[in-house]
Structure 1
Amino acid sequence: MKKILFCLAVFQLFGLGTVIAQEIPESEFTPLFNGKNLDGWIGNKTAYRAENGMIVIDPKGGGGGNLFTEKEYGNFILKFEFLLTPGANNGLGIHAPLEGDAAYVGKEIQILDNEAEKYADLHDYQFHGSVYGVMAAKRGHLKAPGEWNQQEVIVQHPKIKVILNGTTILEGDYLESSKNGTLDQKEHPGLKRSIGHIGFLGHGDVVHFRNIRIKELPATNN
């Protein structure tokens, strides 16, 4: 039965079924954060800290910076919860190397309070849930700062789907979307990467993360 649900979830990503990925039992997911410390993570452990079952980035602890999984991941379903402070900006890096700007040498999925007044002039590809510079997500499904959001990111290179609080806000193929040039008109060599680290990409704002878990999916032939 677990195998059937798993297959149906993958089919759904490609529009081949109607069963959503949440039907994969939670027992199929592996925690990425033990709730106690940052074992299994590498990067800026000054700005990021484990606190009360959360990963908290606090610029007073050392600025922004990135925190990555020690392990690299290819195709996966990632689930996590996040809480934004007013105007907060962070990012989810996927398929990222440990050096360079993950938005370009890997891929960055925006984590952002894009309803804040200071972001009134954002480009579409900067909205929360967007693949930065490449694919624009739908707005209007973020909870207010101070409330917990639930997010799910499904990656089957080169396809990606982002579900925020139960609503699909982004779905598509990032290589296909960029074949005639990216939305920001910049080079994104990381779009071709099919494996790398997962990370939180800090921009100097306080953000809380919890219940971070992953289900690895089979490799594709792309």
Structure 2
Amino acid sequence: MRSPFRPFAPLFAAFALALAPVACVGGEPQDGPAAAPNDELGGDVPPLFDGKTLDGWTGEKDLWSVQMIDDVPTIVGVSEGLDHNTFLTTDRTFGDFDLTFEMKLTPNDANSGIQFRSVRIAEEEGEKPGPDSEMRGYQADAGAGWWGKLYEENGRGMLYPAEGKPDQTSAEDALKPGEWNVYRISAEGDRVRTWINGAPSVDLVDPEGRKEGMIGLQMHSGGPMTVRFRRFVLQTP
């Protein structure tokens, strides 16, 4: 079957280099560079982030906020130190999708990541999850030594690079520590791919993985950190 996704390099280059002041996601304007449209994807997807509020997201309200940084609306997570992992999650769920965004983590030796096709564990167990509930599912990892890797949170652990497979490497060498970095995630059926600043990272076919779930922004337990996310461009089939 022919893939519904076009080659990724042109779209990545367009996102990283375009200087247009508005990017459209599902017909809604957002500040930031414009990603080239993929005509074979749906296009009528409401934006993940309205650029003003955290409506449509659930998390610990004292840890997450919306700020204007360089005149760009940004989701910001700030922790003075946590004894648990915490997540800001979409109220919607997604199966196959293509998501590009910018991310900045300080300090770089902190730990963060982006959950996708994930679920709050409490909900999976039939309980009502709170905003501090843990998650299970794929995580595109972030943090020194972790950037570009694929981890299954509260599941199978490290999926890519896999132990004993030296041909599998992450794209951490493409990272600009402490600066804005373009992260891209593609989930299509059994296949998961990621890129950092246009450099290919994960490319995994994983029949065992969850095929649908929420997107979540993570702050890991540990010391003080600040993580920022902006310029989301989401497309679905």
Under a length normalisation based on structure 2, what TM-score does the superposition of the two structures give?
0.66
| 1:46 counterpart SS class | coil
- Which consecutive residues of structure 1, in runs of 5 or more, have no partner in the other structure? 1-6, 14-18, 115-126, 176-190, 218-222
| 1:140 counterpart SS class | helix
Which whole-Å deviations, capped at 9, do the CAs of 1:169-217 have from their partners, x for residues lacking one?
1212133xxxxxxxxxxxxxxx532110000121152111111231012
**Structure 1 pair 74–156 and aligned structure 2 pair: CA distance change class (3 A):** same
Equivalent-residue separation in structure 2 for 1:200 and 1:26 (angstroms): 25
State which of 53, 58, 83 in structure 2 corresponds to 1:42.
58
Given that 2:171 and 2:196 are in contact with CA atoms closer than 8 Å, whether structure 1 keeps it comes out as no
Post-superposition offset of 1:96? 0.8
Post-superposition offset of 1:157? 2.3
Q: Identity, % of aligned pairs?
A: 26
| 2:173 counterpart SS class | coil
Post-superposition offset of 1:143? 0.4
Post-superposition offset of 1:72? 0.2
- Structure 2 letter corresponding to 1:81: E
Q: Which residue of 1 aligns with 2:177?
A: 144
| 1:212 counterpart SS class | strand
Matched, 1:106 2:137: yes
Equivalent-residue separation in structure 1 for 2:11 and 2:204 (angstroms): 16
Equivalent-residue separation in structure 1 for 2:76 and 2:214 (angstroms): 19
- Structure 2 letter corresponding to 1:148: W
Structure 1 stretches (4+) deviating beyond 6 angstroms? none
Q: Which residue of 2 aligns with 1:202?
A: 219
**Structure 1 pair 25–11 and aligned structure 2 pair: CA distance change class (3 A):** closer
1:146-165 alignment to 2 at 5 Å?
A: 147-165=179-197
Q: Which has the higher strand share?
A: 2
**Structure 1 pair 85–43 and aligned structure 2 pair: CA distance change class (3 A):** same
Q: Please, what is the CA RMSD of the aligned residues?
A: 2.6
Equivalent-residue separation in structure 1 for 2:215 and 2:199 (angstroms): 22
- Structure 1 letter corresponding to 2:62: T
Equivalent-residue separation in structure 1 for 2:189 and 2:96 (angstroms): 6
**Structure 1 pair 39–129 and aligned structure 2 pair: CA distance change class (3 A):** same
Given that 1:81 and 1:212 are in contact with CA atoms closer than 8 Å, whether structure 2 keeps it comes out as yes
Which whole-Å deviations, capped at 9, do the CAs of 1:135-175 have from their partners, x for residues lacking one?
12233111021x11011111102101111111111212133
Q: Which residue of 2 aligns with 1:130?
A: 149
Given that 1:10 and 1:21 are in contact with CA atoms closer than 8 Å, whether structure 2 keeps it comes out as no
Count of paired positions: 176
Equivalent-residue separation in structure 2 for 1:54 and 1:157 (angstroms): 30
1:80-119 alignment to 2 at 5 Å?
A: 80-86=101-107, 87-99=109-121, 101-102=134-135, 105-114=136-145
| 1:71 counterpart SS class | coil
Equivalent-residue separation in structure 2 for 1:62 and 1:139 (angstroms): 25
Q: Which residue of 1 aligns with 2:5?
A: 10
Post-superposition offset of 1:46? 1.8
Equivalent-residue separation in structure 1 for 2:4 and 2:189 (angstroms): 15
